[in-house]
Amino acid sequence: MQLRQSRPRRSVLYVPASSEKALAKIGSLACDAVIIDLEDAVAPEQKEEARERLRSILAEKSRPRCETIIRINALSSEWGTEDLLAARACKPDAILLPKIDGPGDIHDADDALDETDAPASLRLWAMIETPRAVLNIGAIAELGRDMASRLDCFVAGTNDLVKDTGVAATPDRRYLMSWLMQIVLAARAGGLDVLDGVSNDFRDLEAFRKECREAASMGFDGKTLIHPAQIDIANAVFAPTAEARAEALAILEAFARPENAGKGVIALDGRMVERLHLAQAEKLLAKAREIEETGS
């Protein structure tokens, strides 16, 4: 069975497949991942040209070093099948499915990839951006427990949720919060990573920083971005702090002492620490190591 690969996804930048200039910059950016977009960022008359540009940029000699995801158009659309075939041929790390409504959309994409003999390492990400997706979020997330489904990550599509529901897009996102928390909870139940939606005003970096901090506190692994200016802030906010790393290391060292062997609960600095805290500490330190290996 193909094991799910753990990798940092603090900063995930959307790049239009129709923009040669934007694509040329990918290799010099410090984001953890890029989503090369064939969907919303590409006008209908540019779809075929965008696919050709995609094939060129992901040629073996020029492909980005960071994790690379391709967002296709929905399989039910007139462009979906050609997008999927083009994406499959480019050998990305994952394909991002937009406008999913339920588990069937994941199954359809998985079946289509199986029919092309796509390797198990080619994963699927899912945009959670429709009311039906939010209502069906538990059933969709359950697919994360089945590695054969290829599902690896949820991406919150906050702009589409605002559009489809009519809620007010306030700066504090108060009317979206309950849905965002449902997405995080479901992702964790399915063992999936989960990314927050974009912040539309890329010039207001302080507002972006605040949104990142809130998203990190809510449990998101990272944030999707629309501009390179947002990368450094996302990388910093979603990385474990020095204090958190020190605390995690202290927990590991405490449980490693001979007198604590086999104990489920120990005392550390005046508080009780359980083995669930040990697991959290191990996960945090593993993430910190992964980030160090990326050099960002």
pLDDT digits (tens, 9 = 90+) for 267-285: 898 899 999 899 889 988 9
When pLDDT is averaged across residues 203-218 and rounded to a whole number, the result is: 96
Contact predicate 11/231, CB 8 Å: yes
DSSP of the chain: -PPPPP---SEEEEEETT-HHHHHTGGG---SEEEEESSTTS-GGGHHHHHHHHHHHTSTTT--SSEEEEEPPPTTSSSHHHHHHHHHHH--SEEEEPS--SHHHHHHHHHHHHHTT--TT-EEEEEE-SHHHHHTHHHHHHGGG-GGG-EEEEEE-HHHHHHHH-----TT-TTTHHHHHHHHHHHHHTT-EEEE---S-TT-HHHHHHHHHHHHHHT-SEEEESSGGGHHHHHHHTSPPHHHHHHHHHHHHHHHSGGGTT-SEEEETTEEEEHHHHHHHHHHHHHHHHHHHHT-
Predicted TM-score (pTM) of this structure = 0.90
When pLDDT is averaged across residues 128-148 and rounded to a whole number, the result is: 96
pLDDT at 2: 43
pLDDT at 60: 63
pLDDT at 280: 86
CATH class of 11-237: alpha beta
Q: CA torsion sign, 295 to 242 to 13 to 87? A: positive
Confidence of residue 5 (pLDDT cuts 50, 70, 90): low
More reliable by pLDDT, 6 or 31: 31
* Angle, alpha carbons 102-171-14 (nearest 5°): 55
Contact predicate 74/80, CB 8 Å: yes
Is residue 1's pLDDT more than 50?
no
When pLDDT is averaged across residues 208-227 and rounded to a whole number, the result is: 97
More reliable by pLDDT, 59 or 204: 204
User: What are 223-233's pLDDT values in tens digits?
Assistant: 999 999 999 99
The answer for residues whose C-beta is within 8 angstroms of residue 60's C-beta and 6 or more apart is none
What proportion of the chain, given as a percentage, has pLDDT over 70? 97
Contact predicate 208/180, CB 8 Å: no
Worst-scoring range by mean pLDDT, 15-19, 96-100, 121-125, 175-179?
A: 15-19
User: What are 52-80's pLDDT values in tens digits?
Assistant: 988 888 876 567 789 999 999 999 999 99
pLDDT at 62: 64
Segments making up each domain of the chain, as ranges: 11-237, 242-294
When pLDDT is averaged across residues 123-145 and rounded to a whole number, the result is: 97
What proportion of the chain, given as a percentage, has pLDDT over 90? 77
Contact predicate 193/148, CB 8 Å: no
**What average pLDDT does the chain have?**
93
DSSP of 248-293: HHHHHHHHHSGGGTT-SEEEETTEEEEHHHHHHHHHHHHHHHHHHH
Place of tokens 């809510």: 218
pLDDT at 59: 74
